[in-house]
Amino acid sequence: MKILTEIKRIAVLGAGLMGHGICQVAVQNGGYEVNLRDVEQRFIDNGFQMIKNSLQKFQSKGQLTEAQVAEILNRIHPTLDLKGAVSNADLIIEAVPENVELKKATFKETDQYAPSHAIIASNTSSISITELGTATSRSEKVCGMHFFNPPQLMKLVEVIKGAKTSDETTQTVLDVAHKMGKETVLVKKDCPGFIVNRVLIPALNEAVALYWEGIADRDDIDKAVKLGLNWPMGPLMLLDYVGADTTLAVAEVLEKELDPKFHPCQGLKQMVKAQLLGRKTGKGFYDWTQK
């Protein structure tokens, strides 16, 4: 077996909901230097502020000292320059919005500037890793590295092999995830939704259908699943965390790529049209405008 690539510096592309959290765990738990890149300064500023807020929570609980917080922040290098972000990185983790054309364009540009040894991983929750790999000249060094929200707290990372992903690439990414303090599962074949979302999205979709058809109230649906299936939170509250738009996007991919049985219910589509997306817009099944 080839010697695994040594990962010293990571580039995270996207400072949003997932990207800032991935950046934080890479530095805080993994001890890596991280270049954090986004397309507008306000996204960088917002992501950096969310990292600061999260670290201050750890500090207030006595889990980090003030000096440790300062050291973590010093190892994050924010930038608007894609070339500058990836040209010295050993691993690039893409966390841009869940849009296949945007992701492919990002992969293509990243491939031009990244060192030849660098691995490009995607935090996609549903898009084909094999397809993303075709946008590059290094399909064997492309894989999925799917974190869960919020990355600072959720222990799981799904590592997904594309059709051409090498064993060395897969093992390197598994090792990095472990160094970040994560538990991993390996998705051996590139399939839409991977493991978690292939099981979760139909469950969330059915919960919306129950509510929309007037079969039960919101609180009783969430209570039933929490107590009956031992979930830590109910499906409608979880949907508000995930986002109705993200849930719909994944359901549509599953329906198109796998089976009509994944067809999203009318209620989910209506919520997205009404911009009742959950936490990110302030309202979904719950009101998030009041803390």
**CATH number of the domain within which 106 lies:** 3.40.50.720
Cβ 263 vs Cβ 255: under 8 Å: yes
Position 154 in a domain: yes
Mark whether 212 and 167 lie in a shared domain.
no
Distance CA 140, CA 130 (A): 10
pLDDT value for 98 = 84
Structure tokens at 274: 């009404």
Position 42 in a domain: yes
pLDDT value for 290 = 81
Position 281 in a domain: no
Mark whether 167 and 201 lie in a shared domain.
no
Mark whether 96 and 29 lie in a shared domain.
yes
Mark whether 130 and 205 lie in a shared domain.
no
Active site residues: 125, 146, 158, 197
- Strand ranges (E), the chain: 9-13, 33-37, 76-79, 91-94, 119-122, 142-147, 156-161, 183-187
3 — pLDDT class (breaks 50, 70, 90): low
Mark whether 13 and 105 lie in a shared domain.
yes
Mark whether 268 and 147 lie in a shared domain.
no
pLDDT value for 291 = 58
Mark whether 183 and 202 lie in a shared domain.
no
Mark whether 164 and 79 lie in a shared domain.
yes
- Identify the three-state secondary structure at position 257: helix
Angle between helix axes 218-229 and 196-212 (nearest 10 degrees) is: 140
154, pLDDT greater than 90: yes
Mark whether 137 and 180 lie in a shared domain.
yes
Determine the structural domain holding residue 147 and report its residue range. 9-187
If one counts the domains in the chain, the total is 2
pLDDT value for 2 = 57
Mark whether 129 and 171 lie in a shared domain.
yes
- Peptide bond preceding 202: is omega within 30 degrees of 0, i.e. cis? no
Of the two residues 248 and 126, the one the predictor is more confident about is 248
17 — pLDDT class (breaks 50, 70, 90): confident
Residue-wise pLDDT for 242-279, tens only, equals 899 989 988 998 999 899 999 999 999 999 999 999 99
185, pLDDT greater than 70: yes
Position 249 in a domain: yes
Cβ count near 26 (within 10 Å): 28
* DSSP tag of 264: P
Mark whether 25 and 164 lie in a shared domain.
yes
| CATH code at position 211 | 1.10.1040.10
Which H or E run includes 106? helix 100-113
Q: What is the mean pLDDT of residues 166-176?
A: 97
Angle between helix axes 235-242 and 244-257 (nearest 10 degrees) is: 90
Mark whether 64 and 162 lie in a shared domain.
yes
Lowest mean pLDDT among 10-19, 158-167, 213-222, 246-255: 246-255
> The pTM is what?
0.89
